[in-house]
Chains A and B, each alone.
Chain A
Amino acid sequence: MRKLVVWIAVGLILVLITLIPPGLVTSQQPSLPAECEELAFSTEEDFLTYGPEPPDGNPIISDGDLLGPNCVVCARNLDLVGLFDVPADLGLDAADVIDVEGYLVAFSTELNSPNVGQFTAGDLLVTDGNIIPNVALTDPFGAGYDIGLDALHFVGAMDNILAFLDEAKQMTRDDWLASPGTLAQMLARYEVDIWFSTEETFKIVDVPVFLDGDLLSARDGVIVAGNNDLLPLSVPAGIPNRGVDFGLDAVTGNRAGDEGWIRFSTELLYEDELNFTDGDVLKYGNGVIRTNQSLVLCFEPKADFLGLDALHMALEERPTRLYVPVILKIVEEAFQ
């Protein structure tokens, strides 16, 4: 009896499959696992998960994969770069999950595209096909050359970000290269910004204009948060004043662009009264809020530390105004 049921089910499935138009499968918009809206990150190196097996059955986690909470693999690197007809893992150096349902992720790779001239490791890529070359991001600073892209985060109202990306899609990479200043203008028009960091420090005649540890604005051409601001005062961060550029390997924050909500990781570890590794999630000016181990623990890797190369967190400010009446009431009662 059981066999008969199975055969009927198989028959039905086969009939249904034959009824599906051939083009439908590919035209369906994929989506990311919902958990990846809350948290998404990539590691510095590949490792083997001894935790739950990923759905594709491959226990090797690449440093190019986008990972989420609870051992979720949000996207294999090939899922991301495959959209650009790239059949090789190119690593994942920065990521911002913009829309989970719409499979909209902004990211950068560790390696240049194998398709000559398509994109570099310094370009900002979006899963909707957008390629924004590095020189457009750094144009307001006058860099004029590809200086790498190590961290990124979109700031602004979500509708505006989506509208910006929609319009940006009309621009080819060559268009941006021909007119890199357009990016800042377009960002200003949509009241959005792209916060980012570079792989290298940009200097003019040996004087740093910005460090690779500074958080930059592609719209305003300013340093949103210097390396010295990102790290607590007790850390000797920033050049030339405090002495060391700790780098900025990953960054995230809320969409409103509040400095206090910036979360990030560095390129270097620091061992003093305040300790952190280059895989920990740090809070703006306030040190470690999540260790690297806590991010990767669920995968039960053989090493506790795997680095942190890209980071996205859903960090929206709580509606504190709801609590104002409560606070006022407490104050009122205190004075009564």
Chain B
Amino acid sequence: MQKPVRIIALPVALMLILLLSAGLVHGQVGPDALKYCEEFAFSTEEDFVTQGPEPSDGNPIISDGDLLGPNCEVCARNYDLLHDTFDVDQDLGLDAADVIDVENYLVAFSTELDSPHGTFTAGDLLVTNGAIIANVALTHLFQVGYKYDIGLDALHFVGDLGNIIAFLGEIQQIGRDFWVQNPGALSEMLIQYDIDIWFSTEGTLGPVDAPVFLDGDLLSARYGIIVAPNKDLLPPSVPAGIPYQGVDFGLDAVTGIRVGDDPQIHFSTEILYQNEPSFTDGDMLKYGDGVVAKNIDLIQCFEPMAGELGLDALSVNIPITRPCESRITRIAGVDVADIGLDGMAMTGTVGSPAILAPVPFGGWIDIQGSICPDVDRFRVLYRLAGSANPWTPIPVEAARGWEVKVDAFFPPGPDCLGTAGWSSDVSGWYNASDYRNLTYPVLGGCNTDLALTVWNSGAAVNGGDELYEVVLETETALGVFSDTVRLVQLDNTPPIAELDKQPGTCDVYSDDDMPLMVTARITDTHFYESQLCITGDGYGTHCYTLTTYYDDPGDNLIETGTKNWPAFVDLHPVDTHHLDPNPVECGYTVWLTAWERTLWCKFNFPNNQAYHYPGHRHDWDGWTFDYTPTP
């Protein structure tokens, strides 16, 4: 009897709704209500009925698509966010949110569902001013070749609030199609405005056995790097991160302060954890520090009938003003926070796929940083780590031909179409005022990522393979000051790879000898991986699995190359039958390539362009033998 009742009841309900709809309006709390979310905003995982204060539109049902604030405030119904700007009547849920500017009704967010009109997907970043950033633009720097919408689960804008608002103002005029066709333009624009979008996705990217990033990692749209991997977000006792500890806990909501300090990241996960420290997927967690607010703390004011309603979007916006600090922020694109006490980029912070070992630096290393308004001039210095050696400046003199972008004389107005020379003096000092004018968008700067200097590390005074201290020195009206000393491990010596062969001897093999074990030796202070390939008689090339030194603890590869250097050791068997089931009699060549881990850097001074190549430099060796099929 129950089912027929429902069958009758539903059409009746639908008819009633249709009859009533002419006189009803969708729940809206209006733009003024956003002020309640100026400091704190969130959304739940599911709908519920508030038993607490009635929302201003009189509807006690709180949707998981509504933006909620402290003290039971409904800051925006889903309809408020979507209808006027995106012409969407339906509730599409709310998967991520960042309240940027209450006065100008500026909220960045994503939905659970695609637009019914096909105008955006659930993976796109939407802004209440009508801007739509396609998902592929956010993930562009991570996705090589095959690009697709991988969802948007959490987002947070980082940078000067004025710059963020200016950026959102500019993209308001840019349609979604532009981002789809020019996904790389987003990171360029973020650099131009010196801001970033931190975000997480719904799905993990990359091959299942070697993910590029997890859906639990916090990502940077500007740099295409993992800002905070899942393992760092959660306390060390939580088995977070793949493959490090074993579980991807997801990243369902994220927020922080605008200056982008890791310790201020607050977030929620996709799954709960029942051991110590326990948390649910609705709790608000702090970077590396566990629960700071239980889910019930967020929702109890609504007096819901259940104590857990999930946490799908989170935005905390407490302005934290900090005194300006002139400092080195990145070395060869690596955040100084990701450089360990050994002077190397920490495990997993460099490379795609990530190199799961510390990574040293080499080549022409660009050093990034920030220079405060009170600084008159600055320079970067180095010396051998732990020594009392005098500091050596890192100049880039005019002869190097460093060109930066400036406004051209014509056309009038800001255009960044001109170029100008940029250099230090012979002692490495740069003019700080000029630097600020060249870099800060608010000052019309066209080079937001202009390096503090570029270090030819191969010519370092104590050798190109040593551990050095690097420091920023600034001169103000009050004197000369030094920033925190940073450690940088150099490696400017390429690897050596040699196959075991006897010059002048042509080894002859037959089917009985296949597969043939290749013996070789490799050396490099920071060895990464090697690969063997075989070719012959126009069969093409067959390459064996690329093997890092940490893939198999049982093989002969170690972090400095092969075991027992300079002895030759077994590497991997090869077989002519891998080229063809019936290989012909011919000469066949095996070659070995060995790579080091070093983050190899180049700098194009005329174009002011830095290049970073992790695990790039390599050596190779070939060996040819004669093969005769067994009759």
Residue of B at shortest CB range from A146?
A: B114
1/0 per residue, CB under 8 A from B, across A139-157: the answer is 0001011111000000000
Kindly provide the distance from the CB of B461 to the nearest chain A CB, expressed in whole angstroms: 46
A93 CB to nearest chain B CB (Å): 10
Contact of A48 among B24, B246, B275 (CB under 8 A): B246
Residues of A within 8 A of B517 (CB): none
Residues 498-516 of B, flagged 1 when their CB comes within 8 A of A and 0 if not, give 0000000000000000000
| CA–CA, A48 and B247, complex, Å | 6
Which residues of A have CB within 8 Å of B7?
220, 222
| Chain A residues, CB < 8 A from B51 | 243
What's the least CB distance linking B439 to chain A, in Å?
A: 38
Given A144-B116, A220-B7, A302-B246, check contact A267 B46 (CB 8 Å).
Answer: yes
The CA of A50 and the CA of B112, in the complex, are separated in Å by 33
Stretch at the interface among B88-96, B366-374, B546-554, B584-592: B88-96
Q: Is B30 an interface residue (CB 8 A)?
A: no
Chain B residues with CB below 8 A from A89, complex form: 203-204, 208
Binds B, one of A25-33, A179-187, A200-208, A319-327: A200-208
Rounded to whole angstroms, the CA-CA distance of A48 and B280 in the bound complex is: 21
How distant is B19 from chain A, measured CB to nearest CB, in Å? 11
User: B166 near A: Cβ within 8 Å?
Assistant: no
Q: Is A244's CB under 8 angstroms from B93's CB?
A: no
B320 located at the interface, meaning its Cβ lies under 8 Å from any Cβ of chain A in the complex: no
Report the bound CA distance from A303 to B204 in whole Å. Answer: 19
Q: How many residues of chain B are within 8 Å of chain A by beta carbon?
A: 79
Which A residues are in CB contact (< 8 Å) with B308?
Answer: 268-271
In the complex, the answer to whether B247 meets A302 with C-beta atoms within 8 Å is yes
B 255-280 contacts with A by CB, 8 A: 270-275, 280
For the complex, count residues of A whose C-beta is within 8 A of B: 80
Q: Judging by beta carbons under 8 Å apart, are B148 and A88 in contact?
A: yes
Q: Which of B64, B243, B305, B581 contacts A60 (CB 8 A)?
A: B243
Which residues does chain B contribute within 8 Å of A59, judged by CB atoms?
243
Contact B272 A209 (CB under 8 A): no
Bound-complex Cα distance A208 to B91 (A): 11
* Shortest Cβ distance from residue A139 to the other chain B in the assembled complex, whole angstroms: 13
A20 to B480, CA, bound (A): 80
Indicate if the CB atoms of A44 and B48 lie closer than 8 Å: no
Q: Given A91, A206, A240, which contacts B27 in the complex, CB threshold below 8 Å?
A: A206
- A60 near B209 with CB under 8 A, answer yes
CB B110 to nearest CB in A, in angstroms, measures 13
Are A112 and B247 in contact, CB atoms less than 8 angstroms apart?
Answer: no
Contact (Cβ within 8 A) A242 B90: no
Do residues B45 and A267 form an inter-chain contact, with CB atoms below 8 A?
yes
In the bound complex, do residue A201 and residue B91 qualify as a contact, i.e. CB atoms below 8 Å apart? Answer: yes
Interface string of B36-71 (1 = CB under 8 A from A): 000000000111110100000001110111000000
Complex CA distance for A276 and B310, rounded to whole angstroms: 14
A297 at interface by CB-CB < 8 Å: no
Q: Which B positions have Cβ atoms within 8 angstroms of A?
A: 3, 6-7, 10, 13-14, 17-18, 20-21, 24-27, 45-49, 51, 59-61, 63-65, 90-93, 112-114, 116, 121-123, 146-151, 202-204, 208-209, 211, 214-216, 238-239, 242-243, 245-250, 270-275, 280-282, 304-310, 581
